[in-house]
Amino acid sequence: MARVYLETSFVSAYVTDRNDTASAYRRQVSTTWWTEQRGKHELFVAEEVLAELSHPNFRHRADAIALIQKIPLLSMSEDVRGLAKILVREKVMSGPVAGDAIHVAVATVHGIEYMLTWNVRHLANANKLEHLRTICRRVGYVPPQIVTPDILWDYKE
What digits encode the pLDDT tens for the residues 78-120? Answer: 999 999 999 999 999 988 888 899 999 999 999 999 999 999 9
CATH number, domain containing residue 15: 3.40.50.1010
Count CA atoms closer than 13 A to 132's CA, side-chain side.
23
Q: Which domain holds residue 80?
A: 2-147
> What share of the chain has pLDDT > 70, as a percent?
99
Residues facing residue 106 across a β-bridge: none
- What is the mean pLDDT of the segment spanning 143-147? 96
Of residues 85 and 157, the one with the higher pLDDT is 85
- What is the mean pLDDT of the segment spanning 36-65? 95
| Predicted structure pTM score | 0.94
Report yes or no on 29 lying in a domain: yes
Indicate whether 121 pLDDT > 70.
yes
Report yes or no on 157 lying in a domain: no
Report yes or no on 154 lying in a domain: no
What total number of domains does the chain contain? Answer: 1
